[in-house]
Amino acid sequence: MSLFRTELRRLAKRRFARWMTAGGLLVLVLVAVGMFLSNQKVGPEQWAAAERSAEQQYQEQVRWAEAERANCERAKTSGGEFYTTDCESINPPPREAFEAQWYLPSTFEFRKTFGELLIPLAAILGMVGFVVGASFVGAEWNTGGMMNLLLWRPKRLTVLLTKLGALLTGLLALALPATAAWFGSMWLIANWRGTTDGMTSGAWQSFLLTGLRGIVLALVATTVGFALASLGRHTAMALGGAIAVMVVGQIGLGILLELAGVRFAEAWLLPTYALAWMTKTITLQDWRSCEATYTGECLPATLDITWQHSSVLFSVGVVIFLGAALWTMRRRDIT
């Protein structure tokens, strides 16, 4: 019997993995439903309503200005004080200042918005992968299943890497259809409740590469969760480590860096690199410094974090955690 197929079946039969997957997919469905309900297609009726709203706002400003000018005139006549002596200067803004597009309902512009919607998709897949990966190997250690498995297949590293391979295969089996469904559902929502104008082959290629980076990010999170649980031989090791990193290592570190006045404090935080990986580049700004231009304008100093920086960080993290898990698997006793 193939060890790989056995691990795939074990992964598929785990109730926790099923419920976690269902929960992640449910969140994605709710996001899609929210996008559908919160947007609408803009047509002649919406433009007409926006024009009426703009005209209404303009007329309200005209009435306000006339009332204030009358108050000013009465104050001057009675000898009272007013905030200005030139009552004629109290005028409403010009009509062209009230643009109809400001009063249009929210509409889903696929080319403008879809790239941002790939970030929550990657985050949910990464969270599901991390938790399921940690529980997949952590439960084996906790229940003694790993020891029984090694009696049947005594090669420790082969067993651990096969488990990881089955886990990553299972995640790909979830992530690829989920990503394809996300593309399709958002495209349909844009057709029904927005617009798909401006889509070119270059835009599609950019979105596909972003989706691919999201899947890679989920694979990295899954591997790290698996490695941490294997290191601690318990699911709680991975989950506790994640909580410690996010609460203590990120929030606490961010506050400490701000208090210390460190430049570009976000560059020391992990979410910055995850976001840079998805968006290709993030530009950090330090408003406490000033780079004067020849016009006398003060511009903040900037620092670019790119997806290349993120790829180096993620690669080093995977090598360290997975390498440590393999080393301890080889060196420590199985009890």
* Mean pLDDT, all residues of the chain: 83
pLDDT at 252: 65
pLDDT in tens, 197-218: 888 999 999 999 999 999 999 9
pLDDT at 123: 92
Residue 216: alpha-carbon gap to chain centroid: 14
Torsion of CA 130, 131, 136, 141, to 10 degrees: 100
Lowest mean pLDDT among 3-7, 142-146, 316-320: 142-146
pLDDT at 259 over 70: no
Mean pLDDT throughout 240-263? 64
- For 72, the 3-state DSSP assignment is helix
pLDDT at 329: 79
pLDDT band at 184 (very low <50, low <70, confident <90, very high): very high
pLDDT in tens, 61-119: 888 888 888 888 777 777 666 655 677 777 888 888 888 888 878 889 999 999 999 99
pLDDT at 1 over 60: no
pLDDT band at 159 (very low <50, low <70, confident <90, very high): confident
Which residues make Cβ contacts (< 8 Å) with residue 199, sequence separation at least 6? 110, 111
Lowest mean pLDDT among 61-75, 180-194, 292-306: 292-306
User: Between these two residues, 140 and 221, which has the higher pLDDT value?
Assistant: 221
pLDDT band at 295 (very low <50, low <70, confident <90, very high): low
pLDDT at 232 over 90: no
Q: Quick one: DSSP state of residue 92?
A: P
Domains in the chain: boundaries: 3-41+108-331, 44-103
CB 225 within 8 A of CB 133: yes
pLDDT at 141 over 80: no
pLDDT at 151: 59
Mean pLDDT throughout 166-187? 95
Share of the chain above pLDDT 70, in %: 80
pLDDT at 325: 87
Host H or E run for residue 69: helix 44-77
pLDDT in tens, 17-32: 899 899 999 999 999 9
pLDDT at 165: 92
pLDDT band at 250 (very low <50, low <70, confident <90, very high): low
Q: Quick one: DSSP state of residue 105?
A: P
pLDDT at 319 over 60: yes
CB 163 within 8 A of CB 9: no
Alpha helices per DSSP H over 233-306: 235-243, 253-260, 270-279
Angle between helices 110-143 and 145-152 in degrees, nearest 10:
80
